[in-house]
Amino acid sequence: MKVMTRESQGERIVTLRDDGAVFDERMMDAMVSALDSIESESEDTSLVLLFEGGESIVGDFPTWERERSREELRYFVRWEDLVSRLCRLKVKTVAGYRGPIGAAAIQLGLVTDLRVGTEDVRLHLGSLCRGPFPGTTWFLLPKFVGLGVARRLLLLGGELGASDALRLGLLDVVGPQITHVIKETLDKMRPLNAEAVYFVRRILDDSYRHERAAAIEQIKAARSKLGSSG
């Protein structure tokens, strides 16, 4: 995983670029280290998770034997910690995809603020047929694609092209060049306060389990935190 940092109009943009076939322990270590650095900085920051595939899939889960092993258990404990940390990160987050993309990269994208991709992107979600359940982040999948499609994808596997992923909400923006799509998306998000984006993320994540009264209280808390009187 390559870490790139640049400044743009007073905002720091940190890009974590991964073109490896498997999101393994080494990739996880690199991402944890990058998150440590981001959390220690006080200035405005945007985080981009960039997965760029070629002829083969990038960002897939490791292949495990059918019988549960200590290595597998340790991996997924760390994986869930990493996903939870990304959910709580108080910066603007974008996942960028080019080419064939594996399940780990897609699951990380489910907890970012926006997901963007190129016209040749292919999302390979994997299935239970490949072995143990590949990360609990898949519980978010029905929010995007609906119960019927989620059931089919989890049980039978398959892939989604850019147009289908855009229609279902797994992608928010599609364009011919990934760098241009990412820049355009970040430019549109620039007026947004990172704190406001964080609260939007929380409110949307909780939207399926909160009663209306609880949702109102959460929005009131967000208004108070952001200094809004509307």
What pTM was computed for the model?
A: 0.85
Range 46-80 burial, b when 16+ CB lie within 10 A, else e = bbbbbbbbeeebbbbbbebeeeeeeebeebbeebe
- The alpha carbon of 88 is separated from its chain's Cα centroid by a whole number of angstroms, namely 12
Quick one: average pLDDT of 32-39? 89
Range of lowest pLDDT (71-75, 129-133, 134-138, 147-151): 129-133
Which residue do the tokens 């869930």 mark? 80
Q: Could you give the C-alpha distances from 144 to 17, 31, 90, 166, in angstroms and in order? A: 25, 25, 23, 10
Q: Which residue has the higher pLDDT, 216 or 54?
A: 54
State the burial class of residue 139 (Cβ atoms within 10 Å of its Cβ: 0-12, 13-18, 19+): exposed
Amino acid code (one letter) for 208: Y
pLDDT in tens, 175-199: 999 999 999 999 999 888 888 888 7
If you classify domain 2-189 with CATH, what class do you get? alpha beta
